Structure 1
Amino acid sequence: AINIAGFALGALISVPMSVRVGAFRLLTVVAILSVLALAASAVPLGFAWLGFWRGLVGLTAGIIMVLSLALIASTAPSARRPVAASFVFAGVGLAIFMTGILVPRLLERGLATAWLGLAACGFAAMMLAIWGWRGAPAASTPAPARLGAATPWTWPLRFLLAGYFFFSIAIVPHTLYWVDYLARGLELGMAEGGLHWSIVGIASALGPWSMAALGLLLGTAWALPLSFITLGLGIGAPLLSGASGVLFLSSVLFGAQPGLSALMAARVRDLADAQHMPRLMRAMILSSAGGAVVAGAVLPQIYELTQSHVLIFAIGGAAMMLGGLLVAPWGGVRR
């Protein structure tokens, strides 16, 4: 909860802070703070100490997500936006996969070792990022709209915002219950559940690239709703069967969901000018966080009442399908 609150706060303050100090300078500072917070979490000084640093990591993550997506979507050529945005979410997916492999092994050596290992990985990522954006020309950084300027909330953008809210609701069932469903619901055991979560991690790293290819083929206007529908089918697949092939397909399609966020960022840029991207991406990320909070509060209550995994997956699949309807270009492909 502390981490999520920090993430929301970081998303909120990202735009005014970037206007005052510059996007690349702010990204450098928060990257350094992220590594510091991970390393500090290794010191066993109680809940308040850990809570502070976890909140700080959430805050820096919120700033990084808003500004990185805004900068990439703003500056990439229109034909390459899906691919460019995919770099961000492929990195997220790769991190999910790597932590799934590294953290259990680090934990065997103690909790402090695990935190320090994550800090070391964060330091390596920070140095790579700083090397990358130091080489970016200053002109490539979009000038944000004035703090008092109105954000152009057209109806297509509002529907994208609502669609992203339902997207976040839709991915919570698998996030919370997929491994439990496999291990206990289908009595396949934790080893099988862990295997499927590894499949999710691999798909998370590869999903952005596959959806970027779809965006290049169809254009983001139609690739985005098609991706929503495909993910909805994957999330709802356990309703049809518990066969191994169906379960594998569900893990792969759910795992690919970071790619949809990349398409979303590219589609927002299609509908808005570069100067408005930081604020629009902040709104999108806050909408996503809101959907996750709602689902995280409501779905466990539904599960406690029904003890039905399948019902939870049905809700997730329906939410994703609804999101697909909302983001479809009913009024035309362009603005």
Structure 2
Amino acid sequence: MSSSRIKLSLFLCLCMCLGIGILRFSYTALLPSTRDAFGWTAQFASILGSANLLGYLIGAFWAMRLPQTRIMAAYIQAAAFAGMVSLLSCAFSGFPDAWYLFWRIISGISGGLIMILSPSIVAQCSELKDRFTINFIGFSGIGIGVLLATLFLPYLDQIAIRTAWLILTGFAFCIGIILSLLLKGLKPLLASEIPRSSAKAELNTLFFSLVAVYGCSAFAYVPHSLFWIDYLTQVLKLDLFWMNFNWILYGLGSALGAFSSYMLAKRLGNFQALKILYSVYVFAIFIAVFSFNPLYTFISSFLTGLLNPAVVFLTSYTILQLHGAAYKKLWSIATLIFASIQLIGGLSFSALQHFGVTYHQQFVLAAAVLLLGTAQLFWVTRARTAVN
């Protein structure tokens, strides 16, 4: 692999690691311990999760409005710094509720900006033949970030929760420094904006179908992404060892997600791979209902961890492959829809909890929504040959 491909792969990997893996999912991993240490109510902890989703939506909308010039690099650097500060600000107790709300929103904004701008930079700076490999390596960073957030979970009964947040802050700081160094070499390639005429694209049924099932996955994933650890500890009453074991399975699945979809797409084509992945995704969410046997919980943890980065990577790359120069705009639209539906889902599931709807019923609802999205993808692509 050439030097430029290595740098682009590392750049995208670190962006995904920070923007999604750490800024987004570390909160889920640390939620039970943070809630106990800081004296938060379950309702306020849920509101903080929704605040992060609101920030992600704001960041996605903001990124969509930015031109495809070197300004993208400046925004990624700023987002990395703001994200690091947001982690630091959550390490200390005793502040007003508004303090934590503000910084969880900032964390979400940073993640949304990084999620859209970093693959857009890679698309602009890489050759067509290298994009599949670079994106696969890059989106693996989501899983690496989740794994980083799980490294110290077995020791949460031995270290202060403040220490855990400070460790994450240290990770974010190191990643931010490396990103700044990598961006110096990429800025010359981003000197001029892509002409508008070359960035137009037909928004056909295939694109809308792809975005529809991607949006359904955003809604369906909310119970696992926001409340899974809380479900394991508060409902299943798992002790720290088994809670950590489930989350480590989740992290291992996340680390393998992009690789799994990469191998599947190489063999079967993008759309066939997506249909298989979404079908398994429905199963992975629904199987959480069978909590009477720990094996089902283990499978759900591993598969949901695997399938989120898998479908994110392959959806992003399929849009890039189909629409080329219009990728940033269309990936922004897809991410904006994803973020909007995820926010709606977060608020909806929080309300359902308030009205006494059980987690098992929420898993059934989530699986049903994703099943509808997957069914329409099968229908729209039924006569289409695989995209390789």
TM-score range, shorter chain: 0.7 to 0.9
1:272 equivalent among 308, 311, 323 = 323
Q: 2:66 aligned with 1:17, yes or no?
A: yes
The worse-fitting range, judged by mean Cα deviation, of 204-213 and 7-16 is: 7-16
> Distance between the aligned counterparts of 1:279 and 1:43, measured in 2?
38
Aligned equivalent of 1:65: 115
How far apart, CA to CA, are the structure 1 residues paired with 2:152 and 2:239? Answer: 22
Query: What's the counterpart of residue 167 of structure 1?
Result: 217
Deviation sequence 1:137-177 (CA, Å, 0-9, x none)? 84478944549x76532221111121111001111122344
Answer yes or no: is the 8 Å Cα contact 2:57–2:336 preserved in 1: yes
The CA distance in 1 between the partners of 2:157 and 2:169, in whole Å, is: 14
Displacement, 1:190? 4.9
Separation in 2, partners of 1:333, 1:314: 32
| Distance in 2 (alpha carbons) for counterparts of 1:248 and 1:41 | 29
2: CA distance, partners of 1:306 / 1:43: 32
Q: What letter matches 1:120 in structure 2? A: G
- Preserved CA contact (<8 Å) 1:10 1:59: yes
Q: CA deviation at 1:9?
A: 1.7
Change over 3 Å in CA distance of 1:133–1:323 after alignment to 2: farther
Match of residue 260 from structure 1: 311
Deviation at 1:17, TM superposition (A): 3.1
Q: Which amino acid aligns with 2:339?
A: A
- Contact residue 210 and residue 259 of structure 1 kept, 8 A: yes
Q: Distance in 2 between matches of 1:6 and 1:183?
A: 27
Instruction: Give how far 1:228 is off.
Output: 0.5
- 2:174 paired residue among 121, 124, 128: 124
Aligned to 1:99: 149
Contact kept in structure 2, 1:32 and 1:126, CA below 8 Å? yes
Tell me which moved more, 60-69 or 173-182.
173-182
The number of aligned residues is 334
Query: 1:134 — aligned with what?
Result: 184
* 1:284 pairs with 2:334: yes
Are 1:32 and 2:81 counterparts?
Answer: yes
Distance 2:55 2:231 in 1: 30
Give the Å deviation of 1:333: 4.2
Letter in 1 for 2:318: R
User: Which residue number corresponds to residue 285 of structure 2?
Assistant: 235
Identity of aligned pairs, percent? 24
AA aligned to 1:17 is L
Contact 1:196 1:251 in 2 (8 A): yes
SS in 1 for 2:140: helix
Counterpart secondary structure, 2:203: coil
1:7 corresponds to which of 17, 36, 56? 56
1: distance between equivalents of 2:132 and 2:305? 18
CA-CA distance at 1:304 after TM superposition = 5.0
Aligned-pair CA distance for 1:95 = 1.6
Structure 1: 5+ residue stretches without partners: none
Q: Aligned to 1:152, what secondary structure does the other structure show?
A: coil
Give the partner amino acid of 1:221.
F
Q: Which moved more, 1:304-313 or 1:198-207?
A: 304-313
- Does the 8 A contact of 1:231 with 1:254 survive in 2? yes
Measure the CA separation in 1 of the matches of 2:206 and 2:177: 38
Partner SS state of residue 66, structure 2: helix
**Which residue is equivalent to 2:139?**
89
Query: 2 CA distance for matches of 1:132 and 1:225?
Result: 35
Aligned mates of 2:188, 2:376 — CA distance in 1: 37
TM-score (norm 1): 0.83
Partner in structure 1 of residue 363 of structure 2: 313
Aligned equivalent of 1:332? 384
Aligned to 1:46: 95
Q: Which runs of 5+ in 2 are unaligned?
A: 1-49
Cα distance in structure 1, aligned partners of 2:346 and 2:204? 29
State the 1:52 CA deviation: 3.7
User: Over aligned residue pairs, what C-alpha RMSD do you find?
Assistant: 3.4
Does the Cα contact within 8 Å between 1:237 and 1:246 map onto a contact in 2?
Answer: yes
| Structure 1 residues 50 and 254, CA gap change in structure 2 (3 angstroms) | closer
Q: Could you tell which deviates more after superposition, 88-97 or 265-274?
A: 88-97
